[in-house]
Amino acid sequence: MKNLLLLLLALSYCSIVVAGDKKKPKKMNVLFISVDDLNIHLPSFGYTSVSAPNIEKLKDQGVLFQQAYCQYPVCGPSRASFLTSMYPPQTKIFSNGPHVTDTRPDAVSIGKVFQENGYWVANTGKVYHPNAEDFEWDAKRTLKMEDNDLVLHLKGKFEKEYGPIDNEEKRKAWEVIKKQYQDDDRQGKHALPLPIKDGIPLEDDLNLATFSEWIDEASYGDKPFFIAYGFHKPHVQYTAPQRFFDMYPLDKIHPEKVPIDDWNNKPLIASWKRYEAFEDIYFGLSSMEARKRYMQGYYACISYIDDILGQMVNKLKEKDLWDNTIIVFFSDHGYHMGNHYLYGKVSLYEESAKSPLIIRVPDNKNNGTSVKKTVELIDVYPTVTELIGLSNPTTVEGTSLVSLLKNPEDKNFQKVALTYAKRGKLMGKSIRTDRYRYTQWGEDENQSELYDYEIDPKEYMNKVNDPDYTDVLKQMRKIYKDKVTEANIIDIKSK
């Protein structure tokens, strides 16, 4: 009897030790995906001729925010803003030049927060503007492209005309051509649609290879991971494998015509000369055939990155990580493809300021739904930290969207989005509510715009001087002043 009692005590002790040794459940992984220059030309926003099945699947398995807006429609200031959850006047970044680490050394980026909370943090592609990190990654992509986009495109054309470069004569001829194009002008002084021969790895293929290697080898070890993944396309040049260009025959592309009087009641300061980078494109006059070529290249790039996104999702599922990974997918800003006779970014209109934002949280009962309320990209940071259960630095200014993930129609959530864009030394500022947009250039209220999206979703009718909108204009100017004042506060208080 005594021996039996001792045995029971021993077994009881062992069970306590085993229970005490059990590790806490590992926190959710985060795949933080930003796309460069992706606009809302996606099926979810009515552009059904664009093929993006994997973005659509992610939307169906997450929550789509239909009215998410950047804080500055250029990659440098936009990224500085959403990575710190601060407005441009607070980051003091209004161009691609300076870094937040210089202008606001007290700001703490989202990657640093995750690293300081025990996450394995890695980056492939451009998420942070180059050299703008306030910490060191645990891993980064090291793979390099063999040649730049333009050289790869020209090589394909050379081989199509002359055959493989398999003898000394053709090699010398190709080297002469290649040396003329060592710089493919990635900032787009000239915008070019560049189909590439299938099978040649491009920038986004190298990002995928790096991501797949990390997942296959479980490089994160026992830690949860925060992977910042940046798609390069559809940023200029419009480079994608030939098979994606083939998906969009030119005779099947039908650009929407812009009313000839679109700019009759808009302040001309709202336009800019980005169209000069596009062949046969002029402000107010554009070759429809040229526009089709650029749309073909842009859409090919969308389908190209969509294909890669599908491979990423399959890799997570293959390694049993899908059910334990939060995915955030969005663009740093939008992009014009001819609407308002504009091309590129840096405008305060919808196609430049709006970003397609999808947040996928495993087992969220509202996955597959959409949020129609207005939100900002600075809200992504505090949303992800709340989902994980992390505290925010006091400099975080955004508002968590978790309440909308729980209830897409949350009546208590009301927000105004604020976006900036400069014209020389003149600053334009634009606010977006659920229904209206008010934009003002500088301090002159005569240089302003008011749009009612309920009756004018394409922004063709500026209602600033419409007597029927006197009360709306007065209300929007009051909201504008309050929002701009809020965003100008440098010493942000803890919320």
Question: What pLDDT score was predicted for residue 495?
Answer: 37
Share of residues in the chain with pLDDT > 70 (%): 93
Residues 6+ apart with CB under 8 A from 73: 333, 334, 345, 346, 347, 348, 352, 353, 419, 421
* Residue recorded with tokens 């004042």: 485
Burial 56-72 (b: 16+ CB within 10 A, else e): bebbebbbbbbbbbbbb
Count the neighbouring beta carbons within 10 Å of the beta carbon of residue 464.
20
Question: What pLDDT score was predicted for residue 189?
Answer: 77
Contact 158, 177 (CB under 8 A): yes
- Worst-scoring range by mean pLDDT, 24-28, 195-199, 257-261, 448-452? 24-28
* Residue recorded with tokens 């992977």: 227
Residue 306 confidence (pLDDT) above 70:
yes
- Give me the mean pLDDT over the 229-246 stretch: 97
CA 400 – CA 405 distance, rounded (Å): 10
User: What CATH code is assigned to 29-145+195-401?
Assistant: 3.40.720.10
Residue 329 confidence (pLDDT) above 60:
yes
* Residue recorded with tokens 């399959």: 314
Residue 63 confidence (pLDDT) above 70:
yes
Question: What pLDDT score was predicted for residue 56?
Answer: 98
Q: In what order do the strands lie in the sheet with 436-441?
A: 417-423, 426-432, 436-441, 448-452
Question: What pLDDT score was predicted for residue 1?
Answer: 44
DSSP 366-404: TTT-EEEEEEEGGGHHHHHHHHHTPPPPTT------HHH
> CA 133, 134, 138: angle at the middle one, nearest 5?
70
Question: What pLDDT score was predicted for residue 331?
Answer: 98
pLDDT for 391-439, tens place per residue?
Answer: 999 999 999 999 999 999 999 999 999 999 999 999 999 999 999 999 9
CA 436 – CA 113 distance, rounded (Å): 35
Per-residue confidence at 283, pLDDT binned at 50, 70, 90?
confident
pLDDT for 352-371, tens place per residue?
Answer: 999 999 999 999 999 999 99
Share of residues in the chain with pLDDT > 90 (%): 84
Query: Would you state the structure tokens that stand for residue 167, as one six-digit string?
Result: 């003898």
Question: What pLDDT score was predicted for residue 279?
Answer: 87
Count the neighbouring beta carbons within 10 Å of the beta carbon of residue 315.
17
- The DSSP letter of residue 467 is G
Domain definitions of the chain by residue range = 29-145+195-401
CA 208 – CA 395 distance, rounded (Å): 33
Contact 241, 306 (CB under 8 A): no
Count the neighbouring beta carbons within 10 Å of the beta carbon of residue 301.
29
Question: What pLDDT score was predicted for residue 13?
Answer: 33
Mean pLDDT of the chain: 92
Residues 6+ apart with CB under 8 A from 221: 120
Residue 9 confidence (pLDDT) above 50:
no
Residue 233 confidence (pLDDT) above 60:
yes
pTM of the model: 0.93
- Worst-scoring range by mean pLDDT, 10-14, 129-133, 258-262? 10-14
